Amino acid sequence: MDIGIMGGTFDPIHFGHLIAAERAMEDARLNEVWFVPSHTPPHKQKTTGPNAEHRLAMVELAVEGNPCFRAMDDELKRGGTSYTYDTLESFRQTYAGYRFHFIIGADMVQILPQWHRIENIVRHFRFIGLQRPGYELDLAKLPPDIRAAVSLVPMPEIGISSTDIRTRASSGQSIRYLLPDSVYHYIKENQLYETMVPK
């Protein structure tokens, strides 16, 4: 089994995430993609958006109906800073024999050298990198051992970010069609992001 892991805060999940997962699955012939919302990501200030339960609920709604996509609560359950290294190691032990591929957008590819224990991660796992508007996807800038672990998968440039969605929602602008309808309605029903000060 080849499993794609899509990590992120998913605050909220949007079509950029889902298209990236679909393209990675298709191109790298993955059997499934697991979406793993982080508790506290190392590279971000504290999550200021809806709590973990809402972020997980939105991921669950977004993957509903796709038997190849799964929402995983491992990092939320573990709590604290969510290091990819810990997550992948724990998956590797629990699901012996599975191959794990971590799916990341170009913004994450750029900062791979700063990741916690990256030299250990690249020994056991591969990365799938996808382009993202506003970020250069230049593997030549990465150290050779990291570069060797990254494969690029083509994807249409999708100029959607959770930050933009939060900003739009908090200033009363429409966020419809940037994310699945089910997630859109969940945000409305729970009045998420409406009063939040955008980052």
Q: Which residues bind ligand ATP (CB under 6 A)?
A: 8-11, 16-17, 20, 104-105, 107-108, 130, 132, 158, 160-163
Q: With respect to ligand ATP, which residue has the nearer C-beta, 3 or 20? A: 20
Q: With respect to ligand ATP, which residue has the nearer C-beta, 2 or 22? A: 22
To ligand ATP, the closest distance from the beta carbon of 62 in angstroms equals 12
Chain centre distance of CA 63: 13
To ligand ATP, the closest distance from the beta carbon of 1 in angstroms equals 22
Query: Minimal CB distance to ligand ATP: which residue?
Result: 105
CA distance 45 to 31: 33
Q: With respect to ligand ATP, which residue has the nearer C-beta, 68 or 153? A: 153
To ligand ATP, the closest distance from the beta carbon of 191 in angstroms equals 19
Q: With respect to ligand ATP, which residue has the nearer C-beta, 52 or 160? A: 160
To ligand ATP, the closest distance from the beta carbon of 97 in angstroms equals 26
